[in-house]
Structure 1
Amino acid sequence: MAGGLVALLDDVAALARLAAASVDDVGAAAGRASAKAAGVVVDDAAVTPRYVQGLDPRRELSVIGRIARGSLVNKLAIILPALLLLSQFVPWLLTPLLMLGGAYLCFEGAEKLWEKVAGHATTEEPRSVGGADQEKAVVSSAVRTDFILSAEIMVIALKEVTDEPFVSRAVILAVVGVGITALVYGVVALIVKMDDVGLALTERSSSAAQSLGRGLVKAMPKVLATLAAVGVVAMLWVGGHILLVGTDDLGWHALYDLVHHAEEAVHDAVAGGLGSVLAWLTNTFFSALLGLAVGAVVVTALHLVPRRRRH
């Protein structure tokens, strides 16, 4: 009896270790997949705050919460099942879909640069938003934009775990979807309310608190501008890297090999950790350059050519 109990306890311990290892594997895979989608995440975080400009400050967090719920529905109820079916039955379609999303990122980044250089950048004036119908319209518009970004995030994440079993893929993508949504909209809520925090601090009796509050109020426009600039660079880099790797996966190796050889040359020329950093920067530079080139072609095709035809 004692021997049987010990054997049973050993089996339970083994199952527990197996379960813990599985959880660790899922967590590690979800972390890798999320890291690959970092550029789109930055873009998502940069885009969302403009939707709550002009809202009653008391309604901002409520509206952000509704947008976050809509983002979860996008990721978990619509995009996740569709991608799982594609990965199960037509996995060869994932690379072209991923490259399509990469091209879209390149287009967005190049378009923002073109608007900045040409002086056509749109500056949205804060609007006065009030009432349930108007809030609903704001949330609907934000969730529609989020659908595109969420699809890109989930496709990028799925491409990293295509070798995992079906159930593991589903769990990993669900973890990525929930985690990134919490991260993005948590950061957005923090950014949106930072002005209010600063104003509240300026009303304190402490001169140090007042100084900190004024600093926060002055810093937030710069933070948003920096976030937007980082988002543009991230879109070009991530989009270009997706296209670079995608062409190699489809059998067109020349471009990928060229960048890979340049990366290796830099790594071998500089010893130690600095060589690894410079090699990564080399890959990033050429990926961003490719993203800018592809994005410029798409911007030209969609904007400049039709405009000339109209004239």
Structure 2
Amino acid sequence: MCGNQMEKTILLLLSIATSISSTPVMTRQSLQRQKTREHFCANLLNFNNFYYSLEEQKNVTGIPADMSIHWKTGKIYFTLISDEMKMSLQVLNPSGEFDLIKVAGLGQSTCVDNLNDIVYLATDNGVYKYKDDGSIELFTALGEDVMYIAVTSDGSAMYIATWPQNRVHKITNDGQKQETFTAIPNGHGLTVDPRNNMYFVATKTSYILKNGYTVPIKIKGLPSDKMTGVFVSRSDEVFAMDENSNLYSVDPENSSAKHLGTFSVSGVNSFAMDSADNVLIGVKGAILKFNAYEQSPCPEYENSSKKGKRHSRKRKNKKRTTSTTPEPAEEEEEE
């Protein structure tokens, strides 16, 4: 009997040991990862056939304006407006480092010809090409005060907005002026889509000048006095965003727009999209990057998804502001 009792005791101890070894140990690190994961999923946004999450926030001293992105390199070009209202041209590199673009005179805005991999600089002394080594080369409009630039999708022509005339000119890629668009009151937010329709913002209201027409039209479905601009994505879709980070798709044929959702960020001054449809938003003091996922990175929250709202099991969520801290990339990768 003693032998049987001892055998049972040994078997019981082995069973307990096996159970303990098969149960995962919840460490402080794994608890933190779980908490980070839950926070990430609870703040996921779902609209425009994507799931968006705030990946990072790069702080700047001033207001980023007129952002453009070189899709091949991932570099973000923008105008930085200081608190003293002084402008400088900047580059945000994929490494997270900023570079100042030095120009002769005043740098005012940038534009990227992604087909030919050319970066153009608008200055108070004409349009320049910006080279990889940081040097610049005069391109056209010498002596003119150029505020904004837009390039056609095939790179064959450029549109420039000059000051103080507030006129938009079309220039061929060899520097010859072709025509002037007197109907455009200014060139703020100047953008051209693949059909050569032109977009601009006047008194924070977005307009379209359709190719072949002479009178610009206010884009229906967009709020007045709140627009930041229009951006053409790599897939040639036209998007617009207002100062409250509401994203709209624009239908050039009907000069109308459809509301898609919001990033819940206020005080938007500029926005852009990179080659992977990630969304960059410029606000005072920061550039925010929202990653775009074609499939939900949080399938366990799929059922709670609502268009234009965060995934959440709570009924109420605080709005994300520009001071929101992005999720640590290392912890997301471990998960």
Of structures 1 and 2, the one with the larger relative CO (CA 8 A, separation 6+) is 1
Larger strand proportion, structure 1 or 2?
Answer: 2
Larger helix proportion, structure 1 or 2?
Answer: 1
Q: TM-score, normalised by structure 1?
A: 0.24
Larger Rg: 2
